[in-house]
Amino acid sequence: MPRMGKMLLRAQRWSVPAEFEGGLTVRNIRREDLPVLLTFCKAHARLEQTTFDPASKLERWSQSLLDPELGIHCWMLEFEGQLIGYASLMRQFSTWDADFYLYLDCLYVEANFRGRGFGAEVMQVIKDYAQKWNYPVIQWQTPSFNHGAIAFYKRLGAESKTKERFFWKLDKSCKY
């Protein structure tokens, strides 16, 4: 039977925290973290030179990020009792590979905490998660102008593929 078999989404809720010697903790998001996540998403959008509409995000995140049945993971990065970033990831299916893979939707570390090894530690937690659930690959994207992130991902051993990402707005209020 292929690896994708009968794996249930809720069975994939992984118990974090992961703690590192340098003081970083990676843990599941909590309801009280949602306002901080909102702040991080605004900053992340500025970094990626795009827009972010905060309208109804707290309510919608409460219904999605906090529901273990949906298989969406949002992990908060905490250092010395302070939230310093987040990562969000979920299972996706590749028709070409006829298998599931892990999709890293967002990885964000606040500017004053970059360059201290936290990103590599978070990526290791993500890699460990992927290996635990037998995902053959992790995929993500970053803007082509984000040279620092591209160099970081290449240092990890990741390979890039050039593609264009398209957004077909079906709702005129969509802010993409």
**pLDDT for 110-162, tens place per residue?**
999 999 999 999 999 999 999 999 999 999 999 999 999 999 999 999 999 98
> Residue 127: how many CA atoms within 13 Å on its side-chain side?
10
5 belongs to a structural domain: no
Q: Which CATH number fits the domain that encloses residue 131?
A: 3.40.630.30
Query: Domain residues for 104?
Result: 16-156
3-class DSSP assignment, residue 49: coil
3-class DSSP assignment, residue 78: strand
- Residues 3 and 123: their CA atoms lie apart, in Å, by 23
pLDDT at 31 over 80: yes
* Helix (H) or strand (E) segment spanning residue 148: helix 147-156
Token output for 96: 């070409």
pTM listed for this prediction: 0.86
| DSSP 8-state secondary structure symbol assigned to residue 79 | E
* Nearest CA among 99, 116, 108 for reference residue 76: 108
Please report the pLDDT score of residue 7 as a whole number. 41
For CA atoms 73, 31, 175, 171, the dihedral sign is positive
pLDDT at 1 over 80: no
175 belongs to a structural domain: no
132 belongs to a structural domain: yes
* Count of the separate structural domains present in the chain: 1
